[in-house]
Structure formats: C-alpha cells, structure tokens
C-alpha cells in the first residue's frame, strides 16, 4: 500500500488528500495538522459569542474547476449574498471605495483633482515602456506621481513594511484593485470605461457561519474516502535516506514525539521551513541562503467588542495613513448576523508586521490599546462603547514579494527537485500570494502530479509551476 503524508490541513492539504483518494482509493493518506481542527488560514475564530474568519474569506473564483466544485462544498442554503460596501479614510474624510469621481471632486476640490488627473496622464506620456522594475514604478506609471505620493506609497509601505521600490512589480498584477483613486480621477475627464475581468466585486458570496463550513465539507470528503486527519499533531522534520524522504517526524500535543513512514510527502508548510529541514541531509548553501532571504509578513488581528449592533455599514474600511496602526478593518456581522450576539458586534482590525520588528514584539494589550485609540480618533466609536479586546497572531500571513523574491524562490525550488517523492504546494508551500480558491486548486494539482508520477513527482511538479502564474486576487 502506498503511504502518503500530507503536512497541513488547510484547504490545500485537504484538497490534495481528497483528490488522491479519488484517484487511488486504496492508498493510505494521512493529513497532519498542528492545530486542534482543520483549516489553516481558513479557520473561523471564536471568542465567546463572537466569531470571525482569519481575514474575510469570500466564496468567489475565476477558476472553472473550482467553480464546479464549490456547490458540493457549500450548499445553496449555506450561502449568503452580501453587498460589498467599503470606505477609505483619507485626510479626515471617509471616501466610498472604489472612490467615486463626484465624491473626490466634492472633497478634494477641482484644482487638486485636476492635478491628480494631470499627473496620471503625464505618467502615461512619460513612461518609456517595458516592464516596471518594482512596485513603486508600476504604481507611478499606472496612476501618476501625485496619487502615488498621496495614497499608494504610504499604504504600500504600511502594509508591506518595505519601501515600495523594494517590492516586486508582481504584487501590482496579483493584488492591486483597478478601483484606485488615479483611475477615478482620470474618469472625470474621460468617461470611457475599460471592460474586462473584474478586480473589485460589487457583491460576494459568503458561507453562513464562516469559512470553516467549507473546510468541514472538505474534511468530511477526505474521511469518507478513507483518509485520516490527525489534528494537534505537528510535522517537525523529515528523515531522508538514499535521496528520498522516508519518514516524517511528528510532535504531539501531549509533548511526545514519533515518526511515521511515508512513500510520498505533500507539504503545505512554509517553504522556508521545509528547505531548512532538508539541509542536514543534502546541504546546499545557496538554497539555504535563498530560503533564509524569503521573508513573510505577519498579521495581528485585533477584535474589539463594540456595545452596539453595528460598528459601521462597511464590509471593509481601509486606513492608508500611517498615524493608524491598522491597515484595514472588517466587520463579520455585516457578512452574517450570526457572527455576533444581538446588540453587539466585533470588528476586526488588521495590523501587519515583520516578525522581528515592532509591533510583533509588543504585548497584545498594547496593540489593542493602540487600535482603540485609533478608532476613537477617527470618530468611529466612543471610548465607552468599547468592551473586551481579543488578539490573534498569524506569523506567515503574507509572502513578501521583494524585487529579488523570484530568483530566490527559483533557487529553493531547484533544490527541492532533488527529493523525488516530496512535493511542496499551496500558499505557504510555494510562497504564493493567492486566494482560497487558488490554494484548493494547487492542492488538487499536487495530488494529480503525485498520483501520476508514483514517488517521482518532484521534477515534473517544479518544471510546471508556471501553471499557477495567472492567479490574480480579486478584491
């Protein structure tokens, strides 16, 4: 019997297990998850009567295969259609986001708006062509220097904790919504719209009770197909013999440890950690340094109990200015009423940080106090309306696309090719900034590759990573 160990029970690991068991029902497939339940980043966070996703997870995809799959995972009765209502706080005014031209004209004034529009048009005329070398150049070319200085540069620096000229232009393709202020300013003078794939949604589908409902459906399919999901069991290392991974080291919640044999390993843990595990067996200083230089941005979520039914009518609020510690807020109750008890709500505020910088090193209570001070200063709530604060930290929330990340990633993947029965996949496993639907597809594809290349999947897998290069995050 072929024994498969899958490291991580997020949607990628569960998707891989499910597809493997579809293809080879007789295989022994076990998923190991360090948390007390499956989900990874697609968990629903519970604090007493309150609930929230670890980041708002919409049910949306542009991938036909995942679109066909979703109705079997989330039934019509479980879905909610939620209108997208968002705002952006800039210079003391809450703008509708994406920004409406008339609103921008009313609050910024015709002179300033004309300056933004002229700057955007001038950037188009001056841009020499070719691919921008970094995120800063990409944004200046697309929106103009004025909008870049006003909004895009401070927000990018705040989110990524990195100067925009040190961030890859790739993040502009996968992440930035087309509803930016520069485009809105241009639209005042040129009403012709460009049609195509949406980059910002007017409404979205949400899973009643939170994203974990989709995870539960995936986990049920794995178990019904004969797979096992071992929670509170952390993969802590690998054992390599003859150039192949032969065993996985496990740490248990009881503080005991063990090893299990494996013919095939599919990993969804952070790529940097996986490469580090393998160095004692096949040392390679170049790949070790490349893995070390691939950085993640951590996410601190601060949930505040607000003693009223609704904090704001928005799905999301963006805070680009650096005088607020948080980048964005979302209110789960606005997605699903059941996420909070009657008469109260719990908005979530997102704070990003490098793992060796402040605010990651600051105490939870200090971070929460800073968030409270910020929302009071913004006029969103009175101090006496704020109740309990809850804090949750996610160390590897976002891969940081620096200008050299691609060559470093290529170096690490070239190293991983040396282990023929080991495949790394998913958001963490391929250092890929993506959405939940992308992660599921990456799990399915890893399973198919492993099943088709019995124990020798590494080379065809890493040779075909370009299949994921079209992923694009839709806001």
Residue 33, pLDDT score: 97
Asked if the model's pLDDT at residue 437 lies above 80, the reply is yes
Asked if the model's pLDDT at residue 200 lies above 60, the reply is no
Q: What is the CATH number of the domain that holds 308?
A: 3.90.660.20
Q: Ramachandran region of residue 122, left (φ > 0), alpha (ψ -120 to 50) or beta?
A: alpha
Asked if the model's pLDDT at residue 180 lies above 80, the reply is no
Q: Do residues 205 and 307 share a domain? A: yes
Query: Which domain-ending residue is among 399, 426, 456?
Result: 399
CA angle 311, 314, 319 (to 5 degrees): 90
Q: Do residues 286 and 407 share a domain? A: yes
Better-scored residue on pLDDT, 435 or 130: 435
Asked if the model's pLDDT at residue 183 lies above 70, the reply is no
Q: Do residues 67 and 120 share a domain? A: no
Q: Do residues 304 and 436 share a domain? A: no
Instruction: Identify whether 119 is part of a domain.
Output: yes
CA atoms within 13 A on the CB side of 146: 19
Tens digits of residue pLDDT in 372-407: 999 999 999 999 999 999 999 999 999 999 999 999
Average pLDDT, integer, range 353-362:
92
Q: Do residues 110 and 132 share a domain? A: yes
Q: Do residues 300 and 395 share a domain? A: yes
Instruction: Identify whether 303 is part of a domain.
Output: yes
Q: What is the CATH number of the domain that holds 240?
A: 3.50.50.60
Q: Do residues 316 and 387 share a domain? A: yes
Q: Do residues 280 and 418 share a domain? A: yes
Residue 214 CB partners (closer than 8 Å, separation 6+): 11, 42, 59, 73, 74, 207, 436
Total number of domains in the chain: 3
Average pLDDT, integer, range 454-472:
92
Instruction: Identify whether 256 is part of a domain.
Output: yes
Instruction: Identify whether 50 is part of a domain.
Output: no
Average pLDDT, integer, range 314-342:
95
Would you give the distance in Å from CA 439 to the centre of its chain? 10
Q: Do residues 262 and 406 share a domain? A: yes
Residue 192: phi and psi, rounded to 5, are -70, 125
Compute and round to an integer the Cα radius of gyration of the chain.
23
Asked if the model's pLDDT at residue 254 lies above 80, the reply is no
Query: Which helix or strand (DSSP H or E) is residue 110 part of?
Result: helix 110-126
Average pLDDT, integer, range 82-99:
90
What is the C-alpha to C-alpha distance for residues 111 and 88, in angstroms, rounded to an integer?
21
Instruction: Identify whether 51 is part of a domain.
Output: no
Q: How is residue 4 written in tokens?
A: 């498969």
Instruction: Identify whether 473 is part of a domain.
Output: no
Range with top average pLDDT, 16-30, 49-63, 187-201: 16-30
Residue 358, pLDDT score: 85
Q: Do residues 304 and 376 share a domain? A: yes
Q: Do residues 311 and 327 share a domain? A: yes
What is the C-alpha to C-alpha distance for residues 394 and 355, in angstroms, rounded to an integer?
10
Instruction: Identify whether 74 is part of a domain.
Output: yes
What is the C-alpha to C-alpha distance for residues 110 and 79, in angstroms, rounded to an integer?
43
Q: In this structure, how many other beta carbons lie within 10 angstroms of the beta carbon of residue 254?
A: 8
Q: Do residues 421 and 432 share a domain? A: yes
Domain span including residue 273 = 3-40+210-293+402-468
What mean pLDDT is reported for the chain?
A: 91
Q: How is residue 167 written in tokens?
A: 């961030």
* pLDDT category of residue 175 using cuts at 50, 70 and 90: low
* pLDDT category of residue 13 using cuts at 50, 70 and 90: very high
Instruction: Identify whether 194 is part of a domain.
Output: no
Q: Ramachandran region of residue 339, left (φ > 0), alpha (ψ -120 to 50) or beta?
A: alpha
What is the C-alpha to C-alpha distance for residues 34 and 14, in angstroms, rounded to an integer?
14
> Helix axis angle, 436-452 relative to 64-73, nearest 10°?
100
């Amino acid at each position: 019997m072929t024994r498969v160990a899958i490291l991580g029970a997020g949607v990628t690991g569960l998707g891989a297990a499910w597809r493997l068991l579809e293809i080879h029902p007789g295989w022994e497939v076990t998923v190991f998850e360090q948390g007390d339940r499956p989900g990874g980043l697609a968990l629903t966070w519970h604090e007493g009567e309150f609930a929230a996703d670890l980041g708002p997870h919409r049910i949306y995809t542009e991938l036909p295969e995942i679109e066909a799959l979703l109705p079997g995972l989330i039934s019509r009765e479980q879905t909610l259609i939620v209108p997208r209502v968002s705002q952006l706080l800039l210079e003391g005014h809450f703008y509708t986001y994406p920004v409406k031209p008339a609103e921008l004209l009313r609050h910024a004034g015709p002179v300033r708006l004309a300056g933004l529009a002229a700057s955007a048009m001038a950037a188009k005329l001056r841009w020499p062509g070719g691919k921008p070398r970094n995120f800063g150049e990409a944004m200046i070319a697309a929106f103009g220097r004025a909008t870049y200085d006003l909004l895009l540069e401070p927000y990018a620096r705040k989110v990524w904790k990195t100067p925009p000229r040190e961030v890859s232009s790739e993040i502009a393709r996968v992440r930035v919504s087309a509803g930016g202020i520069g485009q809105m300013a241009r639209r005042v003078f040129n009403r012709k719209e460009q049609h195509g794939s949406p980059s910002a949604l007017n409404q979205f589908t949400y899973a009643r009770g939170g994203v974990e409902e989709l995870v539960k459906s995936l986990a049920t399919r794995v178990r019904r197909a004969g797979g096992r999901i071992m929670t509170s069991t952390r993969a802590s290392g690998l054992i390599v013999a003859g150039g192949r991974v032969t065993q996985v080291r496990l740490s248990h919640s009881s503080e005991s440890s063990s090893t299990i044999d494996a013919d095939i390993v599919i990993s969804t843990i952070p790529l940097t950690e996986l490469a580090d595990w393998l160095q004692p067996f096949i040392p390679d200083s170049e790949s070790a340094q490349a893995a070390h230089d691939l950085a993640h941005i951590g996410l601190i979520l601060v949930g505040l109990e607000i003693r009223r039914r609704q904090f704001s009518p928005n799905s999301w609020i963006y805070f680009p200015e650096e005088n607020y510690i948080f980048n964005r807020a979302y209110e789960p109750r606005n997605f699903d009423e059941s996420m909070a008890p009657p008469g109260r709500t719990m908005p979530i505020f997102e704070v990003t940080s490098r793992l060796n910088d402040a605010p990651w090193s600051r105490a939870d209570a200090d971070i929460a106090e800073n968030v409270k001070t910020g929302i009071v200063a913004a006029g969103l709530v009175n101090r006496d309306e704020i109740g309990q604060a809850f804090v949750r930290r996610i160390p590897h929330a976002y891969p940081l696309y620096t200008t050299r990340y691609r060559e470093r990633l290529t170096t690490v993947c070239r190293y991983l090719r040396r282990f023929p029965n080991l495949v790394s996949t998913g958001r963490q496993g391929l250092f890929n900034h993506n959405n939940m639907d992308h992660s599921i597809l990456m799990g399915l594809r890893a399973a198919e590759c492993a099943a088709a290349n019995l124990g020798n999947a590494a080379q065809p897998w890493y040779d075909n990573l370009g299949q994921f290069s079209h992923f694009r995050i839709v806001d």
